[in-house]
Structure 1
């Protein structure tokens, strides 16, 4: 297409939004101005003034453009799709268009588009008094250019975003065009990246999520697929070379743990084969305490997995299997603090502690094969020389393998043939003693390898089983077996097995042992020094392959089997007994070797007992009990979840007919509870019923895995109404819940199976996943997801909730399907009803469907609907179909089509209606954040006290008596604050003097720029932080930050794309923790005024009342030297200093080794009872009331210190 024509097309695309807006009159112009960000500042009459100003320059040329392009596109047959207006420009084949149009038409189109553009420039002369109106023309032109690039050149739009030429806005601000950044981006790309994304910035975190988002948009605009996905902490540590995730600085990147995957080549075959080669761009945080800053890693990846096969002839097949992967090679670019930019090669398989042998290598395996696999009735047979023999070819494989691994290339070709020699005795004595044919199966392998050259291998088994029964009373020999297996031993010996199958029948008891006997290994030693001359024979016991037992003794009936697998060191068994009304079932698994070949054992035992119903009350009965125990066994979540959807959970919960179904049940148990070293599982089971007769049966089991603390809840619910024999309603639900406490993960799976409601069959699946902690996620689905939603990897595929009505005749067929799903950012619901009826040549087919998807942040919704009905006779008739979508808000849009077929004629009508501009949002008033923050920090429930870390607590803390009395009095008056232990209603938090205190809140993150506060903006401050912590006016230097989870969208202005790519919650600073080894409360800090004393105490056990002690007051300071000691603690301090010491107890520091103990002011009282102080020299008595208390012991007992003679304390008779 000529350059001038191409420029004309692009100019038309630029002005297309303006022309479309003017078609709706002033309302359309108002909506357009709102999208530019200017409309909200204009007055109500301003949009009409803008419309009147440039109406003639836009509307007329616009209509001319539309008419010319639409008509010429139809005439030139250049329409690749519907072309009904300028909004369908992408459906025009412009090369064919310009080949057919005349030059005058092209000139007219160019002049119209240029005139429209010039009319917009003329807006700069319009007089509008609203704020920002002087930039109206520039804002509108910027909007047209940005919209043009985003719609038609997404790759260049992404590049402009990366260079800062286009700055994406938020919910309330439009995108901005900053053309001066274009030159800066090319002149100083690193400087521009540092400005836009904080690349190599030391203060602010690296805005990697925005860089990945812009790159993804640009790459997708160029027609290549790209996606932003999560990357594990371990992989990030490997990219950086750190020892582990704990060594990284996660706060150095905004919304870390993201990577951009760009597949260069992707292929997927219908058979499921896949191949993909691409690169990943990964923002990597720096390793802590190093010179490196946040950087980027570019890593190549590749994978191949393909399986193809094609039949050739009747029983021949050609196969091709290929698999491989590329090493995760790449390069890491990290700026440093010096500053500089360092590049480091990568070959990632683990951390820097891995050896080179552990690192990833390139691998490729391609196997070509030719297979012959004969069907049983089409075997290839060749008669032998004897009339009783036959050679049967069963299988032939020819495989060629090309393998590349770590720089080494090998080729291997191998041919494998399998055949059978069969001899059938005929007539006479031979047929009498050998009634069954003698056959010998063997395989022959011939191969060549580029590493080892030619090689041969062979194998086969000669087996003879004589099935005649030899009866000796109650004992019978059911079978005599002879087997010879060349190559069946690792040491090259020839094993010969002779075994029998004895059976015992005692009437009430039957037993059978399968193939028990002797085994002889014949070998030929090199020194010809065997125990039989040249040969050496080793004879041993051949254990049986199984044991069967049956019991029929009146009230006791049942049986069991035991299977032996000596080659696998594995044994299993099942037992089922009916003892009167009691049914007992037991299943056991034993393996005498732990995984990896280690010594030890693992076993699993499952025992259940079904009982006559035992009444529990409220209509419930206990119908059975059971339990499961496994030593060196673990529990696998995925097989259990799969068992729910396949209906095989009954292999674990009260299995039925265990002898007949032993192989299936044992196989299920082995997959669910595999051997695992140092893991054990235990769990009880119970079977309940409800109603008389039983209408609801519940089988419930709880399985605990230790020491990893994983818990599983198993349940099977069966509803039969009105009863099991005549059930009009039969519902069967299997449930599996899994709780992994260390991994902070919870899952629930449920499935309806074999269920019906009268004539309706019902089915469906449900799944829930919950993860808490640093990477919190939640997802619930009943019946699957909306077709527009892509569920995360690992979430199971669920069947829709389905109710189907199909009578025995098959007609009519009516089916209902539905689903409901909840994710952190969406709510999904859908339903469909389908009907089909065939009456001879007449067919009625109808369908009604609805799929709704609601997105919370940013809020959007989209509803797809479908209504279809057809009535045909011999394939011809009438049909109508309505298919459309409702989306919104901003604006609300209804688009769809109606298609009608009548016999051989069809008509399609399209509809596209928009309601409202969607740009008008009513802002909420600004909010004050500081009062809410201080209120949260002052709430006692947000404070906590820690015990000393790594220290002895020395003392036990409890609430003081005075505080208890105050709280009790307050509660009696209705004003109590509750406990003082730090609960939400408490008034105080008791802190250990050697420990620490902490406070946290979730109102707003600390140390972050707060641009939003919920759905409004802060009116007081933009950032909040705790700058200091003081205790009684003294600063505490030993502090550390506490972190909690916050939603970024609640305090930062983010665009829609940023909200979608950002995590729902991130950890940010929420409080602080303070503590130290030297903290005291109250008093003075002057060391000269501080008295230090050593406390001495003793413990006395008082088991009966004694006489009161008499102590001279002159000996008060020498208690430690008295023979008669009081019950209270003694302080070895002179009496002269006691008064001074007691008055300073509020500020005293009591020395304990090298530590200092700080405590609250000492409050001493004499209790509720009053006391008398009696001077024994003159019999004078002073009464001390029990209500008197003071701040110190001296103030409470000052009456005692005024006497110089002996005193005694005794209870007073006064109230």
Structure 2
């Protein structure tokens, strides 16, 4: 396969009217085709001539640089490319021109096709009170730059990406920061050592990719580069990954670095780098940063953090990972943490430091795999000694989880010993229950003889407390095992009397004003006032574009249930509600999130297969009858917003688009603030609905309102299946 450089050259030649199918030719040459190699040889001069013409078009008009590149055209290109430099006052401008090559079977050296119309430039400055440099990469669709300039105690760093795809909107990303040495003192030992910002036009923040790169430090390295010129290539690719092109989406926000307790040449005790970004029009806030505690040889900790506030998803997500951290110079420190808070449907709260109880699923929250918070002995000079301790703590809406382990080992070839102790515990609040797993043991080996002892067990309670213990003892000639179960205390308090009148429980729901609300009244062209929280109690304002809806969260309607609010019913019951009032007609159903397992008696198999949360019927829409006699005059207040015209001086200052040979796309970015305001349709093109379920019995498939309804119907005979699944005919097996 042709590499990316060959692909870029093929596109450039095609744009210049030279259609050789270079990519296919290279593929054939790589496969050993002598005829394809002959075609390349026959057209080598034409290919190199056109490639060099395109190369000169991409080079900025820097005095002496174009002349220096003329020598590239007259020499046989090297597989490593060609580098040319030109002096410009106190600056040294350099350009590296890559070449497209292909490996030919049977030949030791690769076959050089031509210079590629894509180049990387560099700039070095060495003048009194002014030093630094820069890097520039030009390709047909992207212009990438990075620079670092020092002026006395101030150092300015930056990177930029500009893409102008043919026929598509241009996208721009700029990262800029200024560093102060020494830091600007703010008082109480705090200092401001860096300030800057990130601006992206037609770019978005890829929080999922940032979250994936927290553990290896790649996210913080891209947002807060130490040397953007030295690491230009890696930095550009990381910025493309974390801020991908997204037409109609803008990103902006400040970056800063704070320090605390300056230790002189050793740096600061605490250093914090942070970027606070706003993505529009999604109204998504992203906080990304790194906190460093450096107190050698006692502690060296780096904590990378990513926080996200997504208003549209009604979600707050925070992730943190320890990177390259050590304690006492001999321990490696590892661990991660996560926080998830959702006030949408379904609502949930998850806080985890170091992970969860083994096997626990935090669904519906989406949490990446966690690494336990741990200390591990890291002494290459003592490879025979091992020591590790780790632990975790997690809190969810209905559970508290904690656990940890310690392992110690010594291996001296002839003699070895290993011991460990571990504990995992989970507490559920409703109903209250404690479950603990524990394990401990040690083992010794001397030459070919070994022995040891291990113990494990569980603790459950209350009602009654149940302790199960297993002990295994390994001797030289025989093994001994023993296990037993102990029960302590009463079986628990007497159960509450069963509920006989389920409908009576709904009486309070009818009096609850918050259950009656307006829905579907979003008008993207206007904002209504006053807000719902400023209305008198018991009052609901309904827009003509919306509807009145009544819902409750006590019990799913129309579903046969066995429990409500943790209390058992005197039998399986189904509750329903109907609207019967003058001037009101019951409309369509209204669904909400419920956990069916809290209302049904499920077998272990059903609990494993049934979705933990489902949208079940919680109420209905209310259709109001028109009453002309009740019409009232109303005054509507509104605020109008308009865009401020762009400053002509600013447009003139940004005329560098001519120099960058990307005038059309760049001008569109500059002219956007002066364009007429438009209202676009931002309704989603794709929506996700709840999975449909059905029951199959006797060869007949019957649809069900939900998975819970399907499982209940299957108890009468049959199986419950998702609508997209197909029953298997077992007759032929």
- Equivalences for residues 97-176 of structure 1 within 5 A: none
Quickly say closer, same or farther: Cα 1:817–1:513, change in 2 above 3 A: same
Shift of 1:779: 5.2
Q: What is the rounded CA distance, in whole Å, between the counterparts of 1:665 and 1:748 in structure 2?
A: 24
Quickly say closer, same or farther: Cα 1:667–1:885, change in 2 above 3 A: same
Residue in 2 aligned with 1:607? 176
Residue in 1 aligned with 2:472? 899
The equivalent position to 2:564 in structure 1, one of 996, 1005, 1013, is 1013
Shift of 1:657: 1.4
**Any conservation in 1 of the 2:468–2:483 contact (CA below 8 Å)?**
yes
Residue in 2 aligned with 1:1045? 593
TM-score normalised by the chain length of structure 1: 0.40
Structure with a larger share of its residues in strand: 2
Quickly say closer, same or farther: Cα 1:899–1:592, change in 2 above 3 A: same
Q: What is the rounded CA distance, in whole Å, between the counterparts of 1:1003 and 1:943 in structure 2?
A: 14
Quickly say closer, same or farther: Cα 1:1021–1:863, change in 2 above 3 A: closer
Residue in 1 aligned with 2:104? none
Asked which structure has the greater RCO (Cα within 8 Å, sep 6+), the reply is 2
- Equivalences for residues 12-31 of structure 1 within 5 A: none
Q: What is the rounded CA distance, in whole Å, between the counterparts of 2:143 and 2:172 in structure 1?
A: 9
Q: What is the rounded CA distance, in whole Å, between the counterparts of 2:184 and 2:153 in structure 1?
A: 12
Quickly say closer, same or farther: Cα 1:1068–1:921, change in 2 above 3 A: farther
Residue in 1 aligned with 2:625? 1076
Asked if 1:831 corresponds to 2:368, the answer is no
1:673-705 deviation line (CA, Å, top 9, x unaligned):
223333332232222233455432221112333
1:11-64 deviation line (CA, Å, top 9, x unaligned):
xxxxxxxxxxxxxxxxxxxxxxxxxxxxxxxxxxxxxxxxxxxxxxxxxxxxxx
The equivalent position to 1:481 in structure 2, one of 72, 80, 86, is 72
Shift of 1:577: 1.5
Aligned to 1:679, the other structure's residue is in SS state strand
Residue in 2 aligned with 1:286? none
Shift of 1:513: 3.3
Residue in 2 aligned with 1:1158? none
Aligned to 1:645, the other structure's residue is in SS state coil
Quickly say closer, same or farther: Cα 1:907–1:516, change in 2 above 3 A: closer
Quickly say closer, same or farther: Cα 1:1059–1:665, change in 2 above 3 A: same
Q: What is the rounded CA distance, in whole Å, between the counterparts of 1:1051 and 1:629 in structure 2?
A: 50
Q: What is the rounded CA distance, in whole Å, between the counterparts of 1:500 and 1:1062 in structure 2?
A: 61
**Any conservation in 1 of the 2:65–2:85 contact (CA below 8 Å)?**
no
The equivalent position to 1:704 in structure 2, one of 271, 278, 285, is 278
**What is the CA RMSD across the aligned residues, in angstroms?**
5.2
Shift of 1:583: 1.9
Shift of 1:607: 0.8
Aligned to 1:664, the other structure's residue is in SS state helix
The equivalent position to 2:255 in structure 1, one of 682, 685, 694, is 685
Q: What is the rounded CA distance, in whole Å, between the counterparts of 2:254 and 2:530 in structure 1?
A: 41
Asked if 1:761 corresponds to 2:332, the answer is yes
Residue in 2 aligned with 1:752? 322
**Any conservation in 2 of the 1:981–1:990 contact (CA below 8 Å)?**
no
Q: What is the rounded CA distance, in whole Å, between the counterparts of 1:750 and 1:1036 in structure 2?
A: 52
Residue in 2 aligned with 1:731? 301
Quickly say closer, same or farther: Cα 1:606–1:446, change in 2 above 3 A: same
Q: What is the rounded CA distance, in whole Å, between the counterparts of 1:899 and 1:1038 in structure 2?
A: 67
**Any conservation in 1 of the 2:195–2:256 contact (CA below 8 Å)?**
yes
Aligned to 2:585, the other structure's residue is in SS state coil
- Equivalences for residues 316-465 of structure 1 within 5 A: 443=30, 445-446=32-33
Residue in 2 aligned with 1:1002? 553
Shift of 1:1075: 2.0
Aligned to 2:197, the other structure's residue is in SS state strand
Residue in 2 aligned with 1:513? 95
How many residue pairs match? The answer is 568
1:997-1035 deviation line (CA, Å, top 9, x unaligned):
6554434445555543212246899665554454xxx44
Q: What is the rounded CA distance, in whole Å, between the counterparts of 1:570 and 1:835 in structure 2?
A: 55
**Any conservation in 1 of the 2:549–2:619 contact (CA below 8 Å)?**
no
Shift of 1:816: 0.6
Shift of 1:656: 0.4
Quickly say closer, same or farther: Cα 1:1008–1:868, change in 2 above 3 A: closer
Residue in 1 aligned with 2:200? 630
Shift of 1:735: 1.0
The equivalent position to 2:615 in structure 1, one of 1045, 1058, 1066, is 1066
Asked if 1:695 corresponds to 2:269, the answer is yes
Structure with a larger share of its residues in helix: 1
- Equivalences for residues 944-959 of structure 1 within 5 A: 944=517
1:735-782 deviation line (CA, Å, top 9, x unaligned):
112344445555432110121222332111224456664566665543
Shift of 1:505: 6.3
Residue in 2 aligned with 1:118? none
- Structure exhibiting the larger radius of gyration computed from Cα positions: 1
Aligned to 1:797, the other structure's residue is in SS state coil
Residue in 2 aligned with 1:559? 133
Quickly say closer, same or farther: Cα 1:1015–1:982, change in 2 above 3 A: same
Aligned to 2:210, the other structure's residue is in SS state helix
**Any conservation in 2 of the 1:1006–1:1068 contact (CA below 8 Å)?**
yes
Shift of 1:943: 4.5
Asked if 1:782 corresponds to 2:342, the answer is no
Aligned to 1:671, the other structure's residue is in SS state helix
Q: What is the rounded CA distance, in whole Å, between the counterparts of 1:946 and 1:417 in structure 2?
A: 59
Residue in 1 aligned with 2:494? 922
Quickly say closer, same or farther: Cα 1:939–1:654, change in 2 above 3 A: same
Q: What is the rounded CA distance, in whole Å, between the counterparts of 1:1027 and 1:499 in structure 2?
A: 81
Structure 1: tracts of 5 or more residues without a match? 1-413, 419-441, 448-453, 464-471, 487-497, 520-539, 959-978, 1082-1091, 1098-1215
**Any conservation in 1 of the 2:308–2:316 contact (CA below 8 Å)?**
yes
Aligned to 1:650, the other structure's residue is in SS state helix
Q: What is the rounded CA distance, in whole Å, between the counterparts of 1:991 and 1:845 in structure 2?
A: 70
- Equivalences for residues 223-238 of structure 1 within 5 A: none
Residue in 2 aligned with 1:849? 422
Q: What is the rounded CA distance, in whole Å, between the counterparts of 1:800 and 1:458 in structure 2?
A: 60
Asked if 1:869 corresponds to 2:442, the answer is yes
Q: What is the rounded CA distance, in whole Å, between the counterparts of 1:943 and 1:1016 in structure 2?
A: 26
Aligned to 2:325, the other structure's residue is in SS state strand
